[in-house]
Structure 1
Amino acid sequence: MAGNSQRRNRRTSNKKGQQVGSGGQRRKGLEGRGPTPPASARKGHVKNRIANAKAKQSARRPAPRRGGPKGTNELVVGRNSVAEALREGVPANTLYVQQYIDSDERVREAIQLATEGGMNLMEAPRPELDRMTNGLNHQGLVLQVPPYDYAHPDDLLAAAQDAGEDPLIVVLDGITDPRNLGAIVRSVSAFGGHGVVVPERRAAGMTAGAWKTSAGTAARTPVARAANMTRVLESYQKAGLMVVGLAGDGDTELGGTEVLDGPVVIVIGSEGKGLSRLVAETCDLLVRIPMPGGAESLNAGVAAGVVLYEAASRRT
Structure 2
Amino acid sequence: MILPGNSQRKGAIKRKGKSNAAGSGGRVRRGLEGKGPTPKAEDRPYHKAYKAKQERQRQDDGRPRRTGGPRAAGPEWIIGRNPVLEALQAELPIHAGYVAEGSERDDRLRDIFKITADRGISLLQTSRGDLDRMTSGAVHQGVALQLPSYDYKHPDDLLDLAGAKPLFVALDKVTDPRNLGAIVRSAAAFGANGVLIPERRSAGMTAAAWKTSAGAAARIPIARATNLTRTLQSYAKAGLFIVGLDGDGDTDIAELPQATDPLVLVVGSEGEGLSRLVRESCDVIASIPIRSSVESLNAGVATSVALYEVARHRN
Letter in 2 for 1:175: V
Q: TM-score, normalised by structure 1?
A: 0.74
For 1:113 and 1:103, the matched residues in 2 are separated by 15
User: Any unmatched runs of 5+ in structure 2?
Assistant: 1-60, 65-73
| Matched pairs, number | 246
Question: Which is higher, the Rg of structure 1 or of structure 2?
Answer: 1
Question: In the alignment, which of 113, 131, 140 is matched to residue 115 of structure 2?
Answer: 113
SS of residue in 2 equivalent to 1:128: helix
CA deviations over 1:71-95 (Å, ceiling 9, x no partner):
5311100111111111222111111
Letter in 2 for 1:113: I
Letter in 2 for 1:191: F
Letter in 2 for 1:133: T
**Contact 2:242–2:283 (CA<8 Å) still a contact in 1?**
yes
For 1:153 and 1:186, the matched residues in 2 are separated by 19
Letter in 2 for 1:124: T
The correspondence of residues 1-316 of structure 1 with structure 2, limited to 5 A, is: 72-161=74-163, 165-292=164-291, 294-316=293-315
For 1:287 and 1:294, the matched residues in 2 are separated by 20
Q: Give the share of equivalent positions with the same residue, in percent.
A: 54
For 1:258 and 1:142, the matched residues in 2 are separated by 50
Give the direction of change, closer, same or farther, for the CA distance of 1:300–1:133 in structure 2 (3 Å limit): same
**Contact 2:62–2:200 (CA<8 Å) still a contact in 1?**
no
Q: RMSD of the alignment, in Å?
A: 1.7
- The residue aligned with 1:51 is none
**Contact 1:75–1:133 (CA<8 Å) still a contact in 2?**
yes
Q: TM-score, normalised by structure 2?
A: 0.74
Bigger drift between 293-302 and 240-249 goes to 293-302
SS of residue in 2 equivalent to 1:205: coil
For 2:307 and 2:138, the matched residues in 1 are separated by 39
Give the direction of change, closer, same or farther, for the CA distance of 1:133–1:69 in structure 2 (3 Å limit): closer
**Contact 2:254–2:310 (CA<8 Å) still a contact in 1?**
no
1:213 Cα deviation after fit: 0.7
For 1:312 and 1:271, the matched residues in 2 are separated by 23
Runs ≥4 residues deviating over 6 A? none
Letter in 2 for 1:108: R
SS of residue in 2 equivalent to 1:179: helix
1:69 Cα deviation after fit: 6.3
1:159 Cα deviation after fit: 2.1
1:70 Cα deviation after fit: 6.1
